[in-house]
Amino acid sequence: MDAIIDSLAEKFPNITRVYTIGRSYQGKSLRVIEITKNPGKHIPGKPEFKYIANMHGNEVVGRELLLLLAEHLCEAYGKMPGITQLLDTTRIHLLPSMNPDGYERYVRKHEEDCTSVIGRFNANGVDLNRNFPDPYDNRENSLQPEVKAVMNWLKSEPFVLSANLHGGTLVANYPYDNIPPELKKSTVRVYYGSPDDDVFVKIAKAYSSQHPTMRKGDPKCPIHRNERFKDGITNGAAWYPISGGMQDYNYYHSNCFEITLELGCCKFPPTRYVKDYWYANRKALLSYIKLVHTTGIRGFVTEPDGSPVEGAKIVVDDRTKKVTSFQDGDYWRFLVPGTYMVRVKKRGYKNTAKTVTVDEGVSSVVNFTLVKRGESRSNVASITGRFRAAKAIMANKIQLSSQESDPLVLSSTAFRANLNFLNAVFICSLLIGLL
């Protein structure tokens, strides 16, 4: 894995960057390869996407697929228009192995076994997909280093969309995975959808529909012969509820919508079948990434003078899920086609709202302007202009004063005089603008 990542980074330095989000329990680097035009930092308005694989060390198909995906994206850039456009407009992050300790343990003990659970847990014996903070199960004190690394990663980048690659059956699984304690008393499986259940159904189908077998909903796994999934998708809780799952954490604690992809019945298939998995999933993997450009709304939240507003909350109708604007003011909000009332708010600013129509296959640009309380759009622009004029006058006065005294040092008396002048001009401008 490391050799492939390093080789791609060396061969394609203009579109790749390799970085580490943390270390495993045994100290192995959790390495990510970023693939995009001009890698290295967030570009305002450019969506961030991630794939994570090998969370369970014994489930290796996703690990191999992400390495093949990385090779495909790099090799096709500049040759295939669709891939070139995707990398020009999207920042893609691939974490092929979230559990390198578990993977290494499995490889040492077994070879090509479809059902073995050796290596599933990290080196500390913890299932990483049961270890994330959960609203119904407080586990803050027992978080594993791999989990902490992903949590910090989520905070550092404004991810929009994600998928977590697993193995053991064939289905696209979406939130919620967990259910409230009172529902756990039920003797039947409970469908427990999120406030954006319609969105998750849509994006899960976007993957399954592009997979030649998953979309049929009949995995035919030997140990789960009776499993059926309509359209190849399932609500996590309706399938079987879990606590501490990563996809629920993404939804609860970030702007990122994540689903879990089960890629096949065999967790660790013979090497000769890896290409078959790749051909079955290649179109779906690419189609899923493209959802960041074709689903819902996106745009910027700014002040009247164009300054970005970070941390503004974007609220849609009565949905409890809120997304927030990033440091550059940019935001993305996944929605299915329809008409919505979208409200934007932040402490210290007047709320604003727009009625928005979302069309199929298009991510509509919807920008919002927030005005600070006590101001209006017109006087903000006027005050800004007066303040800029005052700064120009002060700069001119300082230059003149400098010519009359020491050419390098402005006297404290002259400095105080100029500062008082600026304050007076600004206060007058502010008062006039508010009248």
Compute the distance between CA of residue 248 and CA of residue 196 in angstroms, rounded to an integer. 12
**Pick among 3.30.420.40, 3.30.470.20, 3.30.9.60, 2.60.40.1120: CATH of 297-372:** 2.60.40.1120
Cα angle for residues 14, 21, 329 (degrees, 5° grid):
70
pLDDT of residue 332: 98
Active-site annotation holder among 34, 59, 64, 262: 262
Half-sphere exposure of 425 (CA within 13 A, CB side): 17
Q: Give the pLDDT score at 34.
A: 99
Q: For position 409, what pLDDT does the model report?
A: 34
- Identical fold for domains 1-293 and 297-372, yes or no, is no
H/E stretch holding 246 reads helix 246-253
Pairing of strands 330-333, 297-302: antiparallel
Q: Tens digit of pLDDT for each residue in 150-187? A: 999 999 999 999 999 999 999 999 999 999 999 988 87
Q: Nearest 5 degrees, angle CA 166-CA 170-CA 176?
A: 65
Residue 111: how many other CB atoms lie within 10 Å: 11
**Residue 359 carries which DSSP code?**
P
Instruction: List the pLDDT tens digit at each of the 435 positions of the chain.
Output: 999 999 999 999 999 999 999 999 999 999 999 999 999 999 999 999 999 999 999 999 999 999 999 999 999 999 999 999 999 999 999 999 999 999 999 888 766 678 788 889 999 999 999 999 999 987 666 999 999 999 999 999 999 999 999 999 999 999 999 999 999 888 788 999 999 999 999 999 999 999 999 999 999 998 888 899 999 999 999 999 999 999 999 999 999 999 999 999 999 898 899 999 999 999 999 999 999 999 999 999 999 999 999 999 999 988 999 999 999 999 999 999 999 999 999 999 999 999 999 999 999 999 999 999 987 655 545 444 444 434 433 433 333 333 333 333 333 334 344 434 444 444 444 444 443
375 neighbors 422 (Cβ within 8 angstroms): no
Give me the pLDDT at residue 121, please.
Answer: 97
Q: pLDDT value at position 225?
A: 80
Per-domain boundaries in the chain: 1-293, 297-372
Instruction: Compute the distance between CA of residue 23 and CA of residue 6 in angstroms, rounded to an integer.
Output: 18
Pick the CATH number of 1-293 from 3.40.630.10, 3.90.650.10, 3.30.70.100, 3.40.50.300: 3.40.630.10
205-221 per-residue burial string, b: 16 or more CB within 10 A, e: under 16 = bbbbbbbeebbebebeb
pLDDT at 185: 81
**CB of 163 closer than 8 Å to CB of 233:** no
Q: Is 262 a known active-site residue?
A: yes
Beta strands in 189-270 (DSSP E): 233-235, 257-263
Q: pLDDT value at position 403?
A: 34
